[in-house]
Amino acid sequence: MFRQMESAGLQDLHFWQDPDTGLQAIIAIHDTFRGPAIGGCRFITYPDTAAAITDAIRLAKGMSYKAALAGLPHGGGKAVIMKPSGLYDRNRLMRSFGHFVDSLNGRYITAMDSGTQISDMDNIAINTRFVTCTRDMGDPSPSTAQGVFAGIQASTMFRFGTTDLHNIHIALQGLGHVGYALAKLLHNAGARLTVADIDTQKVARATAEFNARAVEANEIYDVAADIFCPCGLGAIINPDTVNRLNCAIVAGSANNQLADDSQGENLWRRGILYAPDYLINAGGLIFVALQHARHHDQSIRQKVASIYDSLLELYKHAQADDRPTNDIADLRARTIIRQASMDAHQAA
């Protein structure tokens, strides 16, 4: 565990167990040099504690990089709640998690993520003020989708010389809150969609509403398309899938899309343009951070739209240096965090 923390540059890792509610939760704080760590709370089934720890650490690091490149006054953190296997009271469990968040005295601000919803944030908020995405703040998913849409337009501009998505073929993996909202935006922009999800009802809805073609979940990697758009869970670009991709661009909302950094190089060597996930999907984090700081909706929308310019500029940098885009993005994020760390130590 300590080796994992050192490798990821994690500051600290916190555990909380509440036998009365069945809560078993982990909060990973990557850094707080630029401000309080911020990141969502994931509520899913894990095979074991080690898998939950690994997920929390990787996601917290990604949130730090995301906050740094988005220019937000935050470090990165992430919470995971291991979904109980037996009966449990969800409301009580979330309230207990609120005590956990509050015990960190503002070093971590929680938000929605996979498996959590607005009502969960409302319950968490009963016991802590260090929470966003409550009923009075709103759902970050539409902002994430808007940011990814802007990033896809930046990607097509760089690769095809146009932001017009009419008849651009997009293979979209995952039709959750963000994936579905993004599919709607893409359909309205004239894109042709091929979709896949393990939930057959979501697939049926997408085919009906967006005139999408459906394929089995494992077949989405093989679809010949202009863009592969991963919007599910992470590590989906790995040694088993990277050579199956038949696209010009990879751009989607999923976190930690690359199983490891070498997969970014594999994409680059194959001539596939990769939109680093923590840059293109930063719209949700921008929303929750600026909502928590009580910014106006217009300023939030403008900040989300700026993902287009940030990504286009990163592509140009990567092209000039002849290096994978994820290498350039990682270097930029580490530089920002390192400078903040130096500033913090000098101030101390």
Q: Is 271 helix (H, G, I), strand (E, B) or coil?
A: coil
Dihedrals phi, psi of 12, to nearest 5 degrees: -155, 165
Phi/psi at 10 (nearest 5 deg)?
-75, 140
Give the closest residue to 67 by CA, choosing from 98, 27, 40: 40
Partners of 193 in the β-ladder = 170
Active-site option among 61, 78, 202, 303: 78
Which of 101, 127, 126 has the alpha carbon at shortest distance from 37?
101
Task: Please give, one letter per residue, the 3-state secondary structure of 91-151.
Answer: HHHHHHHHHHHHCCCCCEEEEECCCCCHHHHHHHCCCCCCECCCCCCCCCHHHHHHHHHHH
Residue 78 bears catalytic tag: yes
Residue 249 tokens, joined:
């661009």
| 10 close to 57: Cβ distance less than 8 angstroms | yes
206: how many CB neighbours lie within 10 A of its CB? Answer: 25
Candidates 227, 210, 309, 213; CA nearest to 274 is: 227
Residues 6+ apart with CB under 8 A from 311: 150, 151, 154, 155, 275, 279, 280
Active-site amino acid positions: 78
